[in-house]
Structure 1
Amino acid sequence: MIMGVPAAELAWLVAGILAAGIVTGILAGLFGIGGGAVIVPVLYEFFRVLGVPEDIRMQLCIGTSLAIIVPTSVRSYRAHRAKGAVIGGVVRQWAIPAIAGVAVGAVAAAFAPAAVFKIAFVVIAAFIAAKLLFGRDSWRLAPDLPGGAAMASYGFIVGLCSSLMGVAGGSISTAILTLYGKPIHNAVATSSGVGVPITIAGAVGYALAGLPHQSVLPPFSIGFVSLIGFVIMAPVSSLVASWGARLTHRLPKRRLEIAFGLFLLLIAARFVASLVA
């Protein structure tokens, strides 16, 4: 028994986290995402078995996910930047508004019920899945990105959604950039850059937001960030992120997009079931 959990069951969960770490890293480089959509549901089951209270479990998953994604996002961004694919102006325009959005999400983590974060995960995952499954390269809102307040608003939305779902915002920002005519490879690369400030601010924000709940959190947690989850998954996902970044310039991604879209719908259904149970 480890922390009250049978060793065999805990071993399977750790294996699942390691596998999710590999998938996370590949997804980070391949799609410009941090892989939080994979991490959060795995951690949710992990913390359920550990007996983390339902009313803070989702927040712990999101905060830990954001912390795990930090090194993955950095490695993915560096790999894409080395290929000259990052649109630097977008990263600079979105960074501050995105951090503001993350801050709003972190404040919500301190006070809002867990159902808010499950609903946010379901809605955002369904949006990303719809774009992956049914989106077309020909879809356009305009031939080029807007300026001023519109760009700041997009940055804020990306940051807020990321903070509520536990992701780096890559899928959302990639969708926005492609809808404004940016090539997919540039959109993916730029999204990885936007994910760096989002994940750093998100991890810090959730750590602070969870401090009042420290007494009911698992051992080795700093607020809503589990160091156990971070230590197990972060090195693996970070290591393989550069592999995914190289693959994105070589492989047709349509089958992977379909598979990932269906996976998101499955996870969304899982959280819907937990809401009505």
Structure 2
Amino acid sequence: METFLEFIIILLITGAVVGFSTGLLGVGGGFLMVPIQFFLLQSTGISPDMAIRIAFGTSLAVILPTAISGSYRHYCNKCVLLKPAIYMGITGFSGGFIGGYIASITPANILTFIFSILLFFVAYQILKYQKVPGGKTKNLNPYHLLFWGFLAGVCSGLLGIGGGVILVPVMLILLGFSMLEAVGTSTVVILLTSVGGILSYIYQGLNIPNLPPYSAGYVNLLQFLLLSIFSIPLAYLGSYYAHKIPEKQLRYLFAVILIFIALKLSGLFELIGIPL
């Protein structure tokens, strides 16, 4: 009973942090939900391969309503470029479905390794980014938007993330968006990329034996509920504070969170004896 209570409390706290980070940084929160669910599920005796897929699928399910909450506030504050968001979201949806299929046939150790390398790379790009004085011309070429949307969608489905860890740096560094524009637009794109991934994980997980109770394919409805309770209102709160924090501090915070999770997933903390 005590272990189950701890399970519930950890997921509730995770959902709260995820919601706030979604609104604040324009990321889906999968970078936090995936490893925490992965480790919790393994602690209950579920195999790593099944645990990582449930973590991915359930994370995407939580990302959807959370992103809706955060994107509404960003849209009201005129930080969403709707046309680019639609272009990227269209291909992001199909990319999410394809990524979910790839994840369903890929071993857990490969997926966690890919995830940690991706987070290190994105954090590096964010830290070295230098804003061009006087602004930067936006690149709104539809073909470029479609390409990056598809890539973010594949990563979303493959790794159980909303796609924001790809989209925010791309929009910031390559497409000329401001940090707030990148964050706001990313939350809208996440809506469509996550839908594609969710459908894929549900479909690929149908008729799989020994899934935990309350599972719809690789989406666990109990974990979805616990993670969503606080994530949705706190996404709205996070988007409010995104407009209060200087852009440079937002980027540094984003990078630090990514590096921490990457180190955890790579197993480096365990290797050097740090119990995190």
> Which of 200, 203, 214 is the aligned partner of 2:198?
203
* 1:144-164 per-position Cα deviation (integer Å, ceiling 9, x unaligned): 215243222111111111112
Q: CA deviation at 1:185?
A: 1.1
Q: TM-score with structure 1 length normalisation?
A: 0.89
Question: Is 2:25–2:254's contact at 8 Å kept on the other side of the alignment?
Answer: no
**In 2, Cα distance between equivalents of 1:259 and 1:84:** 23
Question: Is 2:98–2:200's contact at 8 Å kept on the other side of the alignment?
Answer: no
Percent pairwise identity: 27
Question: Is 1:86–1:189's contact at 8 Å kept on the other side of the alignment?
Answer: yes
SS at match of 1:216: coil
* 1:97-140 per-position Cα deviation (integer Å, ceiling 9, x unaligned): 1112112111113322223321221122112222343333239x
Q: Which runs of 5+ in 1 are unaligned?
A: 1-6
Equivalent residue number for residue 151 of structure 1: 145
Structure 1 residue 89 corresponds to structure 2 residue 59: no
SS at match of 1:51: coil
Structure 2 counterpart of 1:162, one-letter code? S
Question: Is 2:60–2:160's contact at 8 Å kept on the other side of the alignment?
Answer: yes
Equivalent residue number for residue 273 of structure 1: 267
What pairs with 1:48-67 in structure 2 (closer than 5 Å)?
48-67=42-61
Structure 1 residue 40 corresponds to structure 2 residue 9: no
Structure 1 259/188 Cα, relative in aligned 2: closer, same or farther at 3 Å? closer
Equivalent residue number for residue 226 of structure 1: 220
Equivalent residue number for residue 194 of structure 1: 189
Q: CA deviation at 1:254?
A: 4.3
**In 2, Cα distance between equivalents of 1:94 and 1:121:** 21
**In 1, Cα distance between equivalents of 2:9 and 2:54:** 20
Q: CA deviation at 1:49?
A: 1.5
Q: Which runs of 5+ in 2 are unaligned?
A: 272-276
Q: CA deviation at 1:60?
A: 0.9
**In 2, Cα distance between equivalents of 1:260 and 1:50:** 31
> Which of 98, 101, 112 is the aligned partner of 1:104?
98
Structure 1 232/113 Cα, relative in aligned 2: closer, same or farther at 3 Å? same
Structure 1 148/260 Cα, relative in aligned 2: closer, same or farther at 3 Å? closer
Structure 2 counterpart of 1:237, one-letter code? S
**In 2, Cα distance between equivalents of 1:144 and 1:252:** 21
Question: Is 2:80–2:181's contact at 8 Å kept on the other side of the alignment?
Answer: yes
